[in-house]
Structure 1
Amino acid sequence: MTSNDEYQTPFNTRYCSEEMKQLFSPRTRFSTWRQLWVHSDSSFSARLRVSASSRLTKVQVWLAEAEKELGLAGISDQAVAEMQAHVTIKDNEFAIVAEEETRRRHDVMAHVHGFGLVAPSAAGIIHLGATSCYVTDNADLIFLKKGLDLLLPKLATIIKKLSDFARKYRDQACLGYTHGQPAALTTVGKRACLWIQDLLMDLRNIERSRSDIRFRGVKGATGTQGTFLALFKGDHSKVEELDDLVTEKAGFNSVFKISSQTYSRKIDLDVCNSLGSFGATCERIFTDIRHLAMMKEMEEPFEKDQIGSSAMAYKRNPMRSERICALGRKLQNLPMDAVATYAHQWFERTLDDSAIRRISIPESFLCADALLLLLDNVTSGLVVYPAVINRRIAQELPFLATEHIIMALSEVGVSRQEAHEEIRVLSHQAAAVVKMEGKDNDLIERIRKAEFFKPIIGQLDQLLEPKSFYGRAPQQVDKFTGPGGEVEKALEKYGDVAREVGRVDLNV
């Protein structure tokens, strides 16, 4: 059957970057299992770019080399050379391994068999002293770490672009809302800073979960290192040295000193929680943007030939923002898989973690990656409509200005209580015109015509100036996003992050 005859995840066909798809691909997974025996001098990122038909070069052994360095007999140069030559699993090997797994019902042993066929001199020492989780868990930890390494710079890029947007619109007044109702004014830039602040929390959470990832190392069937102790004839120091040496060769700075057969599934939970929290942030921010698009104050980029609706040709639907909300909702729910998996583990390990982790962990990373591509696309071209914003302010500002008018009257000797009553009556009359007749707010015209307000008529224009209603919003934007501010400090380690993070498929 062709791919069109089988279900294809939208993460693969529509949403994600090639580098993230490749990271969680079968070839990368199973080559990394082999890599746990054979190490490449090139970086992991470079390995991801190796084509399917090419081979890794300049390799050296992880487990086998470390065992050999520490004096373990039986590992020949020929065995190492053959392993070196076949680190990257080739297309024709997948079928051989699949057939073996059908017979043995054990994926790791099927791959040990497949590796042994192409490296016959090493067949007897592949997996020496190790349990399946040596390759599966250590590989998963590599994928977690490298996956986060792919996501973090993209998130930094989004924060930088939104910060530029916030500075551009630092003093563009707009209606603020509480309870979904017009409240005191804020600015477009200040509102964007609310979004940025939440994204900075996500950046911090993901960075922390990344820094907490350690290597499982060589621990054996229940984490006691018993098989390795036997291999080294009871020499505890050699076993500890082996654990540290393999960890170093794998590119990790630290190793879990305590593990069961697996590394603690709380690590998965921690990583997935940080990604799920980011998913919630995405839905939160882009619900705002969808509402603003509904009010025609702001909208996502819209291409020249883009069609908003098959029936209503005039429409400019916020389809990318809607997709972000949908994927954000998916991502924020995926941590529940990790919660249940961690909570339901028995003693040193049970296998009910395996199938669910094969799905939920890659999907968490693919979903986060898809969201970051979309966020980059939208934040690179957000459109603001000041004329619409100002018109909406004009409809509400007379009501918002009533307290300013009362205070101005008090300053010229008018009773505050009397002023309050006069303006209350006129406000209700103006509100009735807006609600019952669908006309513009005429409160200011009513005030100008009323004799009671004559003492402050000359101040009305000044009292209605929008900038007097948004407080320190522009200065807050400057402090937050400017030199020495929170945003700059958080992004320092990412260097020049103002770049495009990837292509977005605009199909829904």
Structure 2
Amino acid sequence: MRKKFSSIDTEGMLSIKKINREKSLLFIDDSAGREAIVPIFDLLKILNEQGCLKDNGFFGYDTFQSVFTWRYASEKMRSVFSVLYERIEIPGRIWVAVAKVQSKHGIISTAQYEDIRDTINGIINSPESLDVLLRSLELEKEFDHDVIATKEAFAELCKIGGGVIHHGLTSMDNVNNTEAIILAEALAIIELKIRKLLSILVRRMDENIGLVCMGWTHLAAAEPIPFPYRLAQYAYDLFDDLKSLNSLKIKGKGFKGAVGTSASYKEMLEGKGITAQQFEKEVLEELDLDAFKITNQTIRRKQDLKVLQLLSNISQSIYRMARDIRLLSASFLMEVSEPSKPKQKGSSAMAHKLPNPIKTEKSCSLALIPFVLEQIAWLNASLPMLERTLDDSANRRIFMPEAFLAIDKIFDTMIRVLDGLVINEAMINANLEKFGVFSATESLLTEMVNKGINRQEMHDIINEVCKEAW
């Protein structure tokens, strides 16, 4: 696992060495070298008042922030889509892997490779990574090109090998493989959470074996069903999603150059006794990454569409389950309810109200996001022209992280809901007693037909009697 490090120096007075994000604590050194532990928000408030945050590439609370930055999603998922990881750590790992294979085949010297390896590996996971990021952002203002900016930020620190970083590559050879690594890691997080939610559903089924509740069709009383059987329906949908996730194999672009023909690699490798395809294979093995055999300048956007279709399907499964829980917790049923805090309130005005089903409501609200974003992925797979245009570039920075962050928050929320779901057996039994008697009419109808009575005539008689009873 990556450690969470950051560094910032405010006029030589303060140095932040480490961040514990889970406990919202900063480990700092003051100007006298004394260590201290302070709450993040206390320090951020001071730094923001002094104007230090923006000067160092941070953003305060006086400007827009995405709710996914602080309100929704887990720290682990945010970390996967973090700027440091996407712009510094993974690109750095890719450049090291490329340099290693290039050194092996005499394209660059051993000294150049070792310099690139030691410098970049020393930066990754260290406080210096933030300095490299800030330098990259500064250089981007000059180059108007993020990959060149990051490459140059690394190159400035590689005194021997800096001049050969990115040799033979086009930008998308790094960017698209970076994206593939991120997607694979994000899907691995989602897989674990699907499995955890499924295990909770199975446990709640086992705990409630023998509990029978009223079944409802068209929101009208139908027939009794086992309560675990209702939960099994939700589990079955999620199990389908899990199988779909496991069948989706994320691939990178590989190393195929500006239009996918590997032309630049063929020139770089001329006389080296290795083909462009063999070179690509060796680098991919270093990265533990598979790649598409055919691409243009970018990775196949069809893959993005498949990922968003998967996330959309998952969000649909959870939406249905969450919405049913909301319905069953309504005042006219009250068969289940979300776990709530002791002092949780349902209304600031209506003191009689019980806690609202805010967790399942939030899950339903967030579940709409992957569904809607899937449409953008469809357009991105369709609109770019010929070997590459930038129709997709800007929106991909938004929709892909947000789709994952939304799903991540939904899972964390629903895991808590299902784990602590309150099952009101008294109300379940009361509803069953009130409506269950009507379900006997189906057995009655079957028995009468078995005795030779016209089915439709008997159906009409039972129906009229039940109308009067209702």
TM tier, smaller: 0.7 to 0.9
Aligned to 1:300: 338
Q: Does 2:99 align with 1:64?
A: yes
Q: Aligned AA for 2:313?
A: S
Partner of 1:242: 279
The answer for the alignment partner of 1:493 in structure 2 is none
Q: Which residue of 1 aligns with 2:51?
A: none
Distance 1:74 1:310, change over 3 A: same
Q: Find the aligned partners of 2:170 and 2:156 in 1 and give their Cα distance.
A: 20
CA distance in 2, matches of 1:275, 1:113: 36
Residue 262 to residue 185, structure 1, CA distance change in 2 (3 Å): same
Q: Is the 1:86–1:119 Cα contact (8 Å) retained in structure 2? A: no
Q: Report the counterpart of residue 155 of structure 2 in structure 1.
A: 116
Looking at structure 1, the residues matched to 423 and 403 of structure 2 have their Cα atoms a distance apart, in angstroms, of 32
Please tell me whether residue 179 in structure 1 is matched to residue 218 in structure 2.
yes
Match 1:34 to one of 68, 82, 92: 92
The partner residue of 1:98 within 134, 137, 161 is 137
Query: Are the equivalent residues in 2 in contact too, given 1:97–1:110 (CA < 8 A)?
Result: yes
Q: Note the alpha carbon deviations across 1:477-500, whole angstroms, 9 max, x for none.
A: xxxxxxxxxxxxxxxxxxxxxxxx
Call closer, same or farther: CA 1:418–1:28 in 2, change over 3 Å: closer
Distance in structure 2 (CA, Å) of the matches to 1:345 and 1:415: 65
Partner of 1:315: 354
- Secondary structure class of the residue paired with 1:174: strand
SS at match of 2:300: coil
Q: What whole-Å deviation, never above 9, does each CA across 1:331-362 have from its counterpart, x for those lacking one?
A: 22111111111111211111121111111111
Please report the TM-score for the alignment, with normalisation by the length of structure 1: 0.75
8 Å Cα contact 2:257-2:263 kept in structure 1: yes
How many equivalent residue pairs? 405
Distance 1:391 1:117, change over 3 A: same
Q: Could you say which residue in structure 1 is the equivalent of 2:74?
A: 17
Q: State how 1:53-202 maps to structure 2 within 5 Å.
A: 62-74=97-109, 76-77=111-112, 79-80=115-116, 81-88=118-125, 90-202=129-241
Q: Which residue does the alignment assign to 2:251?
A: 214
Aligned-pair identity (%): 30
Matched to 1:279, the amino acid is: S
Match of 2:18 in 1: none
> After the TM superposition, which residues 314-463 of structure 1 pair with which residues of structure 2 at under 5 Å, given as runs?
314-405=353-444, 426-431=465-470
Q: Would you say the 8 A contact 2:133–2:150 is kept in 1?
A: no
CA spacing shift, 1:259–1:426, aligned 2, 3 Å: closer
What's the TM-score once normalised by structure 2's chain length?
0.81
Cα distance, 1:9 vs structure 2? 1.6
Bigger drift between 351-360 and 405-414 goes to: 405-414
Can you give the 5+ residue segments of structure 2 that lack an aligned partner in the other structure?
Answer: 1-47, 49-58
Larger Rg belongs to? 1
- Alignment partners' CA distance in 2, 1:158 and 1:188: 17
| Residue number among 251, 271, 276 corresponding to 2:312 in the alignment | 276
- 79-88 vs 378-387, which deviates more? 79-88
Cα deviation digits, residues 348-391 of structure 1 (max 9, x gap): 11112111111111111111111110111111111111211121
Other-structure match for 1:471: none
Please state how far the C-alpha of 1:146 moved relative to its aligned partner. 0.8
Letter in structure 2 aligned against 1:23? V
Higher relative contact order (CA 8 A, sep 6+): 1
Q: Measure how far apart 1:75 and its partner are.
A: 5.4
* Contact map agreement 1:159 1:199 (CA 8 A) in 2: yes
Which sections of structure 1, spanning at least 5 residues, go unmatched? Answer: 39-61, 432-508
1:426 to partner: Cα distance:
4.1
